[in-house]
Chain A
């Protein structure tokens, strides 16, 4: 009797719980209403295209803004954005953009060439502290302006021939310059809006808030709840609005990939930024798997702070780098989802292959460490490795910690930091070893190699070599042929890796869970997303059964 009562009670409880947890999932509702629910990794630093860095910010900004040219997500070839067309002079140094007369700001004003000049002056201004200012450095005199050597922006090679025509003069032919127009640091911002909320070069003013922001992309900001969600609705002023199929997008800061995966499973997300490593085999085994893995133009590595002992000694850096077994790491902890890396540029970046100067060699590593004054780890002063809080970074750090202990008999402590704290530590070089990843902003080895220029905003290692700077800045751009250019890159990268200011770990693959109802979201080398192409199919279940 008692048992029966208990059963009844439990059944009642279960029914109540299910009833409470029920209702339509985000995905089902989103499919019906055309709203994409997008897991976006972490809360953005901000939404000002000339201030932020980072992948989550990129996804948000490229939904709100549009560049002169955008990447086609299928081919990665540039296609018209704000500019309806562009002409390139014979020597490749003068590019003339013709701005689409239909391109409008979200307040209805037409976009002009003047907006670009104003915005690029802002992006390049030394007061702005824009870490991505170098994206515009191919332009004549822009680097001198960004470094404060000249103060008159008129000397920079950008001119508005009329409201619709923007002429850009480059230092030399730069094959990837059009690609750069899809990078947010080259985007235009609305001058009046920014000046209404502060000075032109103020960072983090209120202009990026909901209701304040004036933007030019396919979506407008409608809600921003810190650490909860950022919602956007389709813009009705965007020039190509007829081709925008979604009615809105909601971005979620899903820092914890474990909970992100759970959110995906219960239908709260259409798309996840990542997937927990341990879950990959489970998803791979599924029929009609939502798991999509593709090669990705990015390198996962550690930064050495070459100004702090003991890693100020190149022998120590080499020893640390040679004593980790990247293949083993990849085959076990990383579940064979990546490719071991031995240099900074990913292999086969538009036909360029980086040098490989070393192998897994614990014996040589021990010799190097002994030469540096720490035979068998004796007298080792200790070393701290910092990483931004994340399950997969922790796993890699824990595995490397032990590999170093086994091979070199040295202690390395590891510690995690919250994303913004970590970014501060890295930019202020307040670390000995720090985790870092670099995702290509455009498909060219230059994008990886120019990180380590003497004053590079993302150098963060203290590495500085005038010869290296000259090769990347002067010799490579002047190269007549692709082969010659790549040969210079190869030589420069060899010089870089001989100094080992970074410890490459692996080349990325993009890994996402994508709900079967999502269409028009192809994988590509850049993991580049153009929300204009994305649509949702409410009848996906029917389509899937028919296919079977």
Chain B
């Protein structure tokens, strides 16, 4: 058992074998692979949207109005005669960007904060975690609303604001993981080898905590996307003619009896993304679990 762990450390220090192993394992997981490919496809489409979108997302054709899917408009049109496929593609840009940017912000802050608090411990830990508790106590909706009111409406700021309130749980998870890992022999060995703390955190602690981080990330992305839709609905997020999946769904839900396709297709896009994220997240967690790596 002990030898196992030590050899693991030396390998990790030597190079990329953790990621290489992970990739080998991930490749065997069909569901995860499917999720990854779908996501990749969505991201590529989102990036290329301005080039490949069949219509302009804001040009209206009021005389056309809402029409069901047809050869000219694969997903139909909305009540302003705008092509729904184009809307969904542009909405995906915003939704995916919110999902990834806001989550990355949350990850970076949360992991750093939690790892430092957990690793240093003592008074620093107490102060840092009390700060997290205080931020937890603030109703985060009000916090975001205040941010938007003070700094004005701005899509990038919206991303950051959402990220800035979503990092708290991540910090707690990270801290508890690091505290646990700190007691383990390989970390003590690394300390006695004289490695500086930031290297220990980066090389030993974070890779060992990847499992819970990834699971939590896959949960954060969808909740962030929904939060964006909610904020936009309140008039604090994205404003027309820009759109997002969340907004398309909330508009579609209002007319779902007359024009069901306005709800179905954006809903399908969001659902598919969330499923893919969950499959990929599960796969990654298994693949990156260092404790299981040498089975």
Contact = CB atoms under 8 A, between A and B. Distances in A.
Q: Which of the four size classes fits the interface of chain B?
A: 20 to 34
B62 A328 contact: yes
Interface stretch (B41-49, B87-95, B234-242, B266-274): B234-242
Contacts of B255: 276, 278
B58 A405 contact: yes
A258 interface: yes
A258 B80 contact: no
A170 to B, nearest CB: 45
A487 interface: no
Contacts of A401: 240-241
24 contacts: A258-B254, A276-B254, A278-B79, A278-B254, A278-B258, A278-B259, A281-B258, A282-B257, A328-B62, A328-B63, A329-B62, A332-B65, A333-B62, A333-B79, A333-B80, A394-B240, A397-B240, A398-B241, A399-B60, A399-B62, A401-B240, A415-B153, A415-B239, A417-B235
B241 A402 contact: yes
Interface in A263-304: 276, 278-279, 281-282
A282 B153 CA distance: 38
Interface string B230-266: 0000010001110000000000001101110000000
B59 interface: yes
A402 B62 CA distance: 10
Contacts of B81: 332
Nearest to B64: A332
Contacts of B241: 398, 401-402
Contacts of A333: 62, 79-80
A371 interface: no
A332 B63 contact: yes
Given A332-B62, A416-B235, A398 B80 contact: yes
Contact of B258 (A282, A398, A416, A417): A282
Return the 6 tightest CB-CB contacts between A and B, nearest first: A416-B235, A332-B62, A258-B254, A402-B60, A278-B255, A398-B240
Contacts of A174: none
A140 B243 CA distance: 56
Query: Residue among A328, A332, A391, A417 with the most chain B CB within 10 A?
Result: A332
A120 B239 CA distance: 45
Interface in B26-85: 58-60, 62-63, 65-66, 79-81
Interface residues of A, number: 28
Determine which residue in B66, B235, B254 has the highest number of CB atoms from chain A within 10 A of its CB, and name it. Answer: B235
B58 A402 contact: yes
Nearest to B63: A332
Given A332-B79, A333-B62, A406-B59, 20 more contacts: A258-B254, A276-B255, A278-B66, A278-B255, A278-B259, A331-B62, A332-B81, A333-B79, A333-B80, A389-B235, A397-B240, A398-B80, A398-B240, A399-B80, A402-B59, A402-B60, A413-B239, A414-B240, A415-B239, A416-B235
A228 interface: no
A60 to B, nearest CB: 26
A539 to B, nearest CB: 30
Interface in A374-415: 389, 391, 394-395, 397-399, 401-402, 405-406, 413-415
A394 B60 CA distance: 15
A402 B60 CA distance: 7
A278 B63 CA distance: 15
A391 B60 CA distance: 18
A99 B153 CA distance: 57
Nearest to A405: B58
Contacts of A405: 58
A416 B235 CA distance: 5
Contacts of B240: 394, 397-398, 401, 414
Contacts of B58: 402, 405
Interface string A231-264: 0000000000000000000000000001000000
A31 to B, nearest CB: 26
Interface in B199-246: 235, 239-241
A394 B255 CA distance: 14
Contacts of A414: 239-240
A169 B153 CA distance: 54
Interface string B113-157: 000000000000000000000000000000000000000010000
B79 A395 contact: yes
Nearest to B254: A258
Contacts of B66: 278
B187 to A, nearest CB: 51
A397 B153 CA distance: 18
A505 to B, nearest CB: 14
Contacts of B258: 278-279, 281-282
B61 to A, nearest CB: 9
B8 to A, nearest CB: 45
Contacts of B80: 333, 395, 398-399, 402
B59 to A, nearest CB: 7
Nearest to B236: A415
Nearest to A417: B235
Contacts of A332: 62-63, 65, 79, 81
Nearest to A257: B254
A389 B240 CA distance: 13
A93 to B, nearest CB: 50
A406 B81 CA distance: 15
A402 B79 CA distance: 13
Nearest to B259: A278
B60 to A, nearest CB: 5
Contacts of A282: 257-258
Contact of A415 (B59, B60, B235): B235
A27 B259 CA distance: 29
A83 B49 CA distance: 69
A19 B86 CA distance: 44
Contacts of A258: 254
A88 to B, nearest CB: 50
A542 B257 CA distance: 30
